[in-house]
Amino acid sequence: MSAFDLPDLPYAYDALDPYMSAETLEYHHDKHHNAYVVKGNELIEGLPDMGSTLEEVVVNAYKQGKQGLFNNVGQHWNHKLFWNWMKPNGGGARPGNLDAAITDSFGSFDAFREKFIQGGVGQFGSGWVWLITDENNKLDVMATPNGENPLVHGKTAILGCDVWEHSYYIDYRNARPKYLEAFVDNLVNWEFVTELYEKGPVKIAA
């Protein structure tokens, strides 16, 4: 795999207002995500083959302890999905089969919501909170520091929320819980989450 590309946002900069402002999205996508892409391309240059898919590169960089490359390609993968995990008028009802799986794994949607928000609040410093599936397609919540993600732990992420300050400081200042509540209640694209859930666990040849 040679080059990484910055994908366009799947909606206008102001499409998630007021839950995530155009100013946040412009900086987060055009500056932060772009920097991961540029740096990732620089760092992979001249290395032996790191894999044929982005997922393979992410896992291989992690396993080989190529920390700089991993930080950037990991964040590239995380953000590519993150933009699609949100949509205008998001949140709300989940498609039936996903909703049933959430209830089955957490007891209720509210219990999931609480666990996900607390997972994000409890991640000290920069990181991510995830809704994951394991080998048996059972759901759970996990949090990871910095650019780390469930892929490198053999788990499949079906939803993730960026809790680095750059994703919420303009709109929420230091109120990370408020941001996480708005994410779950007003931003999540549950149709995309369902799509990933139905695809089942990600298999990586690494």
- In the complex, the residues that contact Mn ion under the rule CB under 5 A are 162, 164
The rounded distance, in Å, linking the Cα atoms of 61 and 70 is 5
Would the CA dihedral through 166, 167, 173, 177 be positive or negative?
Answer: negative
* 198 phi, psi to nearest 5 deg: -70, -25
Q: Which is nearer to Mn ion, 60 or 167 (CB)?
A: 167
Least distance (Å) between residue 126 CB and Mn ion: 9
Least distance (Å) between residue 199 CB and Mn ion: 24
Residue number closest to Mn ion, CB atom: 162
Q: Which is nearer to Mn ion, 75 or 156 (CB)?
A: 75
Least distance (Å) between residue 72 CB and Mn ion: 12
Least distance (Å) between residue 139 CB and Mn ion: 24
> 97-117 burial string, b = 16+ CB within 10 Å, else e?
ebeebbeebbeeeeebbebbb
Q: Which is nearer to Mn ion, 116 or 128 (CB)?
A: 128
* Neighbouring residues of 8: CB distance < 8 A, sequence distance ≥ 6: none
Least distance (Å) between residue 167 CB and Mn ion: 5
Q: Which is nearer to Mn ion, 85 or 164 (CB)?
A: 164
Q: Which is nearer to Mn ion, 148 or 162 (CB)?
A: 162
- Residue 46, class by beta-carbon neighbours within 10 Å (0-12 exposed, 13-18 middle, 19+ buried)? exposed
